Structure formats: C-alpha cells, structure tokens
Amino acid sequence: MLFFESTYSRYESGALDILVPRLLNLLNSMKSKCLDILDLSNLAIYDKDAQNIYSWLTTWCGFNGWEHILKLMRILKIRAFGTESDIIFRVNANLNQIFKPSEVDRVRSSIFSYFDENATYAGAIQARQLLCELKGYLQTNINRWTLFQANGSSWSISGIHDLEDNNEIERPSIIVPALWSIGNPNARRLEIDGACTENYLISNGLMRLSLHPQGSFDIICSDKPSWQNSIRSKTGGTLGVTKNDLNNLRILDSLEPFSPSEQKELTSIRVAKKNAFGLKLQSSFVANMFFCQVNRFLIL
C-alpha cells in the first residue's frame, strides 16, 4: 500500500477515500471475469469509476496504460484499505512505537515529503537514508546498534549509531563515543556476528569495546565463548580491580542473524593487522579515553 499511499500528499484531498474501494471492486471484477486489455478499455468508455481509476494510476502512480495496469493487478492483493484518516491513524500508531509521541505528526509529514522529493524510478530509498532525516525523533529506548559481521574471509560493518552523513557508515570516531559515553541516554547494542580472531586490530577493538559498557549498553555475539575466552586470555582474567571482575561481562549470546540493507566492507580478516578501519578504531579509543579523563579532572 505504501506505493499508493505516497500519492496522498499530491492528490486531491479525499479523492483516494473513494478510489481505493473502487479499485478493489475493479480488481475483483478483473479476476472473476478474466477481463483483458480490450475489456478494460471498453469498460472505461462508459464506467466512470474505471475512468477515474485509470486517470489516477496513469497520472499519479506512474502507470503507462491498461497493459501495464493489468500486469500488476494480476499479482496485486489488497489486504486492507480505509479512508485517508484511517490510514493516517494506523501509520501514526506504528510510528508511535518508535518515535517520540509528541513528534509523530511531524515524522509522518517528513516521511511523505522525503518520498516526494527523493523517490525515482531508477532507485529505491534505503531505510537508513530516511532514518538520517528522523534520528532526532527516535525514542531513547529504541536500540541504536552497530553490527560487525565476519563474512567468510572479510569483515563488514553496518548500523545506525552514525547517522550524521548519508555517505558514511559507522565511523569509529562516532561509534566509540556513542557506545562508551556514560551520559548517553539511548539504548545501545554492539552486535558481533562471527568468532574472535586474536591479534587482529578489529577483534582487539571489539574486545576493548566489550570491556567497558556504560549505561543501557548490551553486547550480543553469535559466538559468545570465543569472545569471552579471548578477553580472559588478553586480560589475564581481570581488569585489575578484583580477581573476578570479568565474571559480570555483559556479553549475551542471543544474536539473531540478518542481512542489513546497507553495509561497508572493511577488510580481509587475515590482513586485518594493518587495517585502516582497525587503526581508526584504536585511535578513537585513545581519544575517547583522554576526553573522559579530562572530564573527570574538570569535575573534580
């Protein structure tokens, strides 16, 4: 329905309240009576509803004729429809689960405007691109996440911590402060899909990130024992506070694998010792630790 809903902001107010139910009637007639292109063309001569539907689909929805319409209608299933106010109500109910309730109307309006301004026939709008426009409206309990995936012989990264630039994906200078910040009110997740490869910069960086979770911050791994054992091996089993201070590592093993729509390839795992991303990750740790120490000094 989203394809048809996106025309609301450009079509005459209230017109679709009438057209969508009549489109459903036409669709049912086409299937039950096995109407072909000639039948539809003849129907549109004397049937006002068919004329209006044809005008709507060819004027606002990008169809180029009855043949084009017929091809889609043979596979289209309309599961639900309603008036414009019904649809807006349902859209708001869904948005209300993710975005600040006081900003839902603004979010919905921004989404429709973004579609109008950026949709093309040649390319689809990615969810992450749209989220860059809406990041300020997210509820604090909605997880911001960064996912590292070992894909065979290479690492890739994806996520929504770094939404400052549509052309960038999860830069170390953004994700390290976001994950480590004591004052960050947002729920955060570091997700690692793959085993730890010791003595490589990316694996070392992920181990360091896992050692110091602050606030609402979870680490979720597909191979929890691999990362726990590597961390214990690297640290000698302690962070230097108590003998058992690694017993409460906040590493979970309930990662559900998925394929992000946008991700960035990092490097081959086997050449990761000199990986540029890994080096940036390490330098971000140093910069963030220095910043934290300066803040503590100023507070004292």
Q: What is the pLDDT of residue 1?
A: 39
Asked whether residue 106 carries a pLDDT value surpassing 90, the answer given is yes
Same domain, 289 and 167: yes
Q: What is the pLDDT of residue 201?
A: 80
Same domain, 110 and 214: no
Same domain, 233 and 262: yes
Task: Note whether 165 and 119 are within 8 A (CB).
Answer: no
pLDDT category at 97 given cuts 50, 70, 90 is very high
Instruction: Please report whether residue 79 resides in a domain.
Output: no
Q: What is the pLDDT of residue 135?
A: 93
The pTM of the full predicted model, rounded to 2 decimals, is 0.68
Same domain, 25 and 56: yes
Query: For 117-124, what is the mean pLDDT?
Result: 70
Distance, first Cα to last Cα, the chain: 57
* Secondary structure element (H or E) that encloses residue 146, with its range: strand 144-151
DSSP state of 75: T
Handedness of CA 17, 23, 26, 27 (dihedral sign): negative
| Higher local confidence (pLDDT), 293 or 168 | 168
Q: What is the 3-state secondary structure (H, E, C) of 149-209?
A: EEECCEEEEEECCCCCCCCCCCCHHHHHHHHHCCCCCCCEEEEEECCCCCCCHHHHHHHHH
pLDDT category at 96 given cuts 50, 70, 90 is very high
Query: For 89-93, what is the mean pLDDT?
Result: 91
**φ and ψ at residue 120, rounded to 5 degrees:** -135, 165
| Higher local confidence (pLDDT), 124 or 94 | 94
Same domain, 184 and 285: yes
Q: What is the pLDDT of residue 81?
A: 62
Q: What is the pLDDT of residue 278?
A: 66
Question: How does 234-265 read in b/e, with b if 16+ C-beta sit within 10 Å?
Answer: beeeeeeeeeeebeebebeeebeeeebeebee
Instruction: Please report whether residue 78 resides in a domain.
Output: no
CA distance 86 to 293: 54
For 53-70, write each residue's pLDDT tens digit.
888 888 877 888 888 888
Same domain, 162 and 176: yes
Q: What is the 3-state secondary structure (H, E, C) of 206-253?
A: HHHHHHCCCCCEEEEECCHHHHHHHHHHHHCCCCCCCCCCCCCCCEEC
Same domain, 275 and 210: yes
Closest CA to 91 of 8, 24, 163, 13: 8
Cα–chain-centroid distance for residue 51?
39
Same domain, 189 and 264: yes
Q: What is the pLDDT of residue 268?
A: 56
Tokens of 246: 């690694």
pLDDT category at 145 given cuts 50, 70, 90 is very high
Which residue segment(s) compose the domain that 183 sits in? 140-299
CA distance 128 to 150: 21
Last residue of a domain, one of 135, 152, 177: 135
Task: Note whether 175 and 162 are within 8 A (CB).
Answer: yes
Asked whether residue 205 carries a pLDDT value surpassing 50, the answer given is yes
- Counting the structural domains of the chain, the total is 3
Asked whether residue 233 carries a pLDDT value surpassing 70, the answer given is yes
CA distance 91 to 30: 30
Q: What is the pLDDT of residue 220?
A: 92
Same domain, 88 and 207: no
Q: What is the pLDDT of residue 8?
A: 42
Reduced to 3 states (helix: H, G, I; strand: E, B; else coil), residue 78 is coil
Last residue of a domain, one of 34, 50, 73: 73
> Which pairing describes strands 154-159 and 251-252: parallel, antiparallel, or unpaired?
unpaired
Query: For 206-213, what is the mean pLDDT?
Result: 81
Q: What is the pLDDT of residue 109?
A: 92
Same domain, 145 and 234: yes
Last residue of a domain, one of 73, 97, 125: 73
CA distance 288 to 298: 15
Asked whether residue 23 carries a pLDDT value surpassing 70, the answer given is yes
Same domain, 129 and 146: no
Query: For 115-122, what is the mean pLDDT?
Result: 73
> Which pairing describes strands 251-252 and 217-221: parallel, antiparallel, or unpaired?
parallel
Q: What is the pLDDT of residue 282?
A: 64
pLDDT category at 296 given cuts 50, 70, 90 is very low
Instruction: Please report whether residue 52 resides in a domain.
Output: yes
CB atoms within 10 A of CB 207: 19
Looking up tokens 């009576």 gives 33
CA distance 212 to 225: 18
Cα–chain-centroid distance for residue 192?
17
Same domain, 109 and 32: no
